[in-house]
Structure 1
């Protein structure tokens, strides 16, 4: 016991290791900046896209398009990402020094941050429901590793598992909805589904499943509980994933399939109600918190409630008003 106390005292007295400049972080920052410029140039050039057969027998294609909605969220993911990454290079150096962890830990952090940014760009430009599901799920996997980055902290580990369970289970609901639409209309391609889908019970069930997945990702009531707990992550993760990017993935999906959701009055009414509840619940709970990260979490829930509410109001407000609100919140 005395030996253990002596060793602990020496560890506390020892100075924290000084780390070299965060080159992996700057590489991630530069990559995000290049991605931002590519999205911007592509958008100014009029956008465009491509489609490559993946599994033709199932009508699966690697189909991407940089349209207005894709450009807005692609620029958000890469532009805000580059800024947060630049901030994170210094923050993570100090964080690792404080936690007495070596520079090798950077390689557990920055690849996941960069992969998340790439997944967001893929999600923003995907034109196929299966691709949307793949990128949607990839953001959940990245967030799991980033929230749980401080693996010695039991709170961070628990929060990471909770966020993973909520977002992955909801993503399965999205996949089931996509399969229902394919069974009824013979395609996973979103543009073709918009032309073919009509009001029906199948449409309502499929639209509801997709909406539930999107609402869970955007931390809307009653599936909002994972976001405040996810703030246990390092600050760059909280700033990027849980305020600007990951929660934006939910409303991005709603925006992408909004014309499908409009085929069901029940689903549109649900968006209105859930958006309004999230505005009130998130706002009230934010007022009752005094820790900055918790205020950020609950205010994010409230702000994304406005976006869901706008989508629930119908085509006259989409996609411009919610997208503008996403940028303002970020």
Structure 2
């Protein structure tokens, strides 16, 4: 090849090859957004390659695309106070779950499920659930697992109150984790809310209030007994002066009356100069209406 030919190659061919190489390399660079997982798709079929957030080099030799899934924790709330809030891509809500316990008690339970996708099983999640079916699957599988665990014959209403609630929550967490793990989801958190027991809950609260009222009556019995003994001794000492005994007890009686009637209001008429509070005949006469003659 002559010198002129080499010059043509250097000036024309090499830049063209460089441009082609740059186009191939740039099309092979794939960037996964932060907080996401990228499932590599070749000719519309999912592969076992799950790309983490950041840049990646994927040779552009075949038709490829990325299906983006979230890599952060997702949550589903059932029966929570935020159930009426707007749903987002990472957070969904639903109504409470009605269940029948092992002792035939009915209740409505609420819970919060936190989970995330397992990158190694992202292809399984894509083929079974798809990008828009994850929350629906979590809702249904969690409801089945919670219902199955609570209707066990050993579960009673006492397991949903007090310290037993924590043990019940651990059992439900294990059941939900096993249900999600079968389809490539990892449970990161489970919290059981306060169940709504309906009429049964009202009976429980009434029983607790009655028990506390009984304890209060027992605590006040000693005070009432001491007061009765004190009144008996007072009557014996002040038997000849009834007015003095009444004035001694007047303050206590007014205090008891105010405590028993919280809405009690006492209004006293202002006494003018030269007036005194006494019997009706000692009060100044009321003015009469000249038309009717009535005071």
TM-score band by shorter chain is under 0.3
Which has the larger helix fraction?
A: 1
The two structures have a TM-score, normalised by structure 2, of 0.26
**Larger C-alpha radius of gyration, 1 or 2?**
2
Which has the larger strand fraction?
A: 2
Larger RCO: Structure 1 or Structure 2 (Cα < 8 Å, ≥ 6 residues apart)? Answer: 1
The two structures have a TM-score, normalised by structure 1, of 0.24
